[in-house]
């Protein structure tokens, strides 16, 4: 659908996003856009882990999740971050309802690579609960946790979750809101945003260490999403005033991820 948008809000920005960001979300909803939000919360999970004396550990941007870490992720993502996002949308005059991927078996997973512990690999997305909320006028706000066939809960990277949700709800556009203006590379001593990237370029940039850490699951999820109905994935900066309105109006800002592009990286 043209007026549908899946927005991933990264934990990197969530706490500091201006009220205008949520006012723009509300305005889009009132203009008839069907919005679905998937949020992260990585920094908040890490902060709580540290308070508890547990050192956070990541492999290629994915959190190594033992049983204690899973409990903290669940507590922070569902109990804290999800409700913050819902509250900020409502304060801006919008209507939102928070769920996690566990609710309605929305994000159905199996265990991912063993060395990551309780990190789920999404097998299927059931869009029924998302659709029910949307059709009733609520913006679904989804915390990235999933459930397996035995009822075990898993942690899921929010970029991965957003990519899968975008593929399942039939949106053409996925927007990843983060704390940088896009994928950047230093060219002639100046850091520049790369306006368009395809799979070959992304793999090169990861191999060269130019794309690292939390940007890795973001670009990988973007490529995975493009395999479905999604035609465009944008990585944008949530601090830029009016950024969502520009995207909704069809402007290409930040970094656009495409299946196969023409622009060369260097």
Ligand X SMILES: Nc1ncnc2c1ncn2[C@@H]1O[C@H](COP(=O)(O)OP(=O)(O)O)[C@@H](O)[C@H]1O
Ligand Y SMILES: CC(=O)N[C@@H](CCC(=O)OP(=O)(O)O)C(=O)O
Asked if 79 touches ligand X (CB under 6 A), the answer is no
11/40 Cα distance (integer angstroms): 5
Closest CB 159 distance from ligand Y, rounded Å: 6
Q: 45, 92, 175, 197: which one contacts ligand Y (CB under 6 A)?
A: 45
Note the Cα 84 to chain centre separation in Å. Answer: 16
Q: 155, 171, 201, 255: which one contacts ligand Y (CB under 6 A)?
A: 155
Residue nearest to ligand Y (CB): 40
C-beta atoms surrounding 156 within 10 Å: 30
In sequence order, which ranges of the chain are alpha helices (DSSP H)?
11-14, 19-30, 42-51, 67-74, 82-91, 128-135, 158-169, 199-207, 215-226, 243-248
239-258: b (≥16 Cβ within 10 Å) or e: beeebbbbbbeeeebbbbbb
> What tokens appear for 218 in the block?
């973001």
Count, residues near ligand X per rule CB under 6 A = 18
67/111 Cα distance (integer angstroms): 13
Question: The dihedral of CA 142, 56, 177, 83: what is its sign?
Answer: positive
> Contact letters (x/-) for ligand Y, 52-71, by CB under 6 A?
----------xx-x------
213 marked as part of a ligand binding site: no
Asked if 157 touches ligand Y (CB under 6 A), the answer is yes
Q: 180-219: which residues touch ligand X (CB under 6 A)?
A: 180, 183-184, 210-215
Q: Decide which of ligand Y, ligand X, none touches 94; Cβ closer than 5 to 8 Å per partner kind.
A: none
> Contact letters (x/-) for ligand X, 119-158, by CB under 6 A?
----------------------------------------
For 215-233, the three-class secondary structure string (H helix, E strand, C coil) is: HHHHHHHHHHHHCCCCCEE
The residue ranges that bind ligand X (CB under 6 A) are 10-13, 40, 42, 159, 178-180, 183-184, 210-215
The residue ranges that bind ligand Y (CB under 6 A) are 10-12, 40-42, 45, 62-63, 65, 73, 119, 144, 155-158, 214
């Amino acid at each position: 659908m043209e007026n549908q948008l899946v927005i991933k809000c990264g934990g990197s920005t969530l706490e500091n996003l201006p009220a205008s960001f949520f006012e723009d979300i509300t305005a889009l909803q009132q203009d008839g856009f069907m919005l679905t939000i998937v949020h992260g919360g990585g920094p908040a999970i890490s902060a709580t882990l540290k308070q508890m004396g547990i050192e956070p550990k990541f492999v290629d941007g994915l959190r190594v999740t033992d049983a204690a870490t899973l409990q903290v992720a669940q507590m922070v993502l569902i109990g804290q971050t999800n409700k913050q996002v819902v509250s900020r949308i409502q304060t801006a005059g919008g209507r939102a309802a928070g769920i996690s991927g566990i609710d309605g078996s929305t994000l159905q997973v199996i265990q991912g690579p063993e060395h990551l512990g309780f990190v789920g690999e999404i097998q299927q997305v059931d869009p029924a609960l998302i659709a029910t909320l949307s059709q009733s006028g609520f913006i679904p706000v989804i915390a990235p946790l999933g459930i397996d066939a035995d009822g075990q809960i898993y942690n899921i990277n929010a970029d991965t979750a957003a990519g899968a949700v975008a593929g399942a709800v039939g949106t053409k556009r996925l927007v990843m809101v983060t704390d940088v203006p896009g994928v950047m590379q230093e060219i002639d001593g100046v850091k520049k945003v790369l306006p368009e990237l395809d799979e070959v370029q992304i793999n090169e940039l990861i191999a060269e260490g130019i794309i690292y850490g939390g940007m890795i699951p973001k670009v990988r999820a973007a490529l995975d999403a493009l395999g479905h109905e999604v035609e465009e994935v944008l990585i944008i900066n949530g601090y830029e005033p009016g950024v969502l309105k520009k995207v909704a109006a069809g402007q290409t800002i930040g970094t656009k991820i495409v299946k196969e592009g023409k622009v060369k990286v260097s």
